[in-house]
Amino acid sequence: MIEGALWRRWVFYNIPLILFVFVLLFPFYWMIVTTFRPDGELYLPWNAPNYMPFWTNNPTFEHILYLFEETNFARWMFNTMFIALVSTLISLFCGVLAGYALARLNFPYAGGLGTAIFITYLVPQTLLFIPLAEIIRNFKIGDTPWALILTYPTFLIPFCTWLMMGYFKAIPKELEECARIDGASRWKAMIYIIIPVAVPGILSSGIIAFTLSWNEFIYALVFLSSPDQKTVPVGVTSELIRGDVFFWGPLMAGALLGSIPVAIVYSFFVEHYVSGLTGSVKG
């Protein structure tokens, strides 16, 4: 686009870009360094001499070991994965069906329903968690993963629905018409023709829903109690912020290891994630 001297390219493009990347990624680097830094080096005040914050010469695994031995970290990972997967599946199921209905079918109040689903996104979680606690208590699912699996879809479904609406709207009507002319009911046309075509959209919704599940905190904080039921964000917050003793090492280890699964899953679906994000905005 902009031609010019090499220095102009560097000053206007490359250097700002490098700065952005650095700022965006530095906290993760910091997480990594702190995880492997021994306690003795960790707790040096900011103006102590000989302080080398950006690298350590004595990497240690003691924090990671502590994390796995003294806390239920492995269990938390399992819980969070399980909850995220099942919530995602449920939300995808509902979102795909609802998205199709709202995008392709004509029926009264379609617009109103779409808006209603949108409005639910605005309802703050802090208003809902007390009444929800009571519902959870009545269903006797307090302190189990099901408390979250059934409540996460409340914010995942609206998102999945919009995304899928966008994707479905983009599929030409001719595809469906052909199928119907061939004798299929709307239902069959949907299952066998439209949905397979919308698979990229489903993958996008799925990966976004997955990351949103991992990111949820308030409901997990309020509805889960036993140490072995907790999710990673809640576990790390409640069990690694401790009394007067130093736990930043395991805390960073927990933060690091807790981020890795999401990052890995995301890395397989980057394209889908990006197209999902942008699709939701355009749609």
Residues 197-256 that bind other proteins (CB under 8 A): 211, 214-215, 217-218, 221-223, 225-229, 232-233, 236-239, 241-246, 248, 251-252, 254-256
- 10 lies in the binding site for other proteins (CB under 8 A): no
Nearer to other proteins (CB atom), residue 191 or residue 199 = 191
Interaction residues for other proteins, span 60-79 (CB under 8 A): none
In single-letter form, the type of residue at position 8 comes to: R
Tokens of 81: 């994965």
Interaction residues for other proteins, span 140-199 (CB under 8 A): 140-147, 149-151, 153-154, 157-158, 161, 179, 182-188, 191-192
Nearer to other proteins (CB atom), residue 11 or residue 59 = 11
Query: How far apart are the C-alpha atoms of 236 and 242, rounded to whole Å?
Result: 10
Query: How far apart are the C-alpha atoms of 75 and 143, rounded to whole Å?
Result: 14
Q: Which of 151, 165, 161 is nearest to 117 (CA)?
A: 161
236: part of which helix (H) or strand (E)? helix 232-240
Nearer to other proteins (CB atom), residue 175 or residue 274 = 274
Of 61, 65, 134, 199, the residue at the interface with other proteins (CB under 8 A) is 134
Query: How far apart are the C-alpha atoms of 258 and 74, rounded to whole Å?
Result: 10
Of 58, 107, 111, 196, the residue at the interface with other proteins (CB under 8 A) is 107
Of 8, 65, 74, 93, the residue at the interface with other proteins (CB under 8 A) is 93
* 3-class secondary-structure state, position 212: helix
Interaction residues for other proteins, span 41-60 (CB under 8 A): 42-47, 51, 53
Nearer to other proteins (CB atom), residue 5 or residue 281 = 281
Give CA torsion, residues 108, 111, 114, 115, to 10 deg: -130
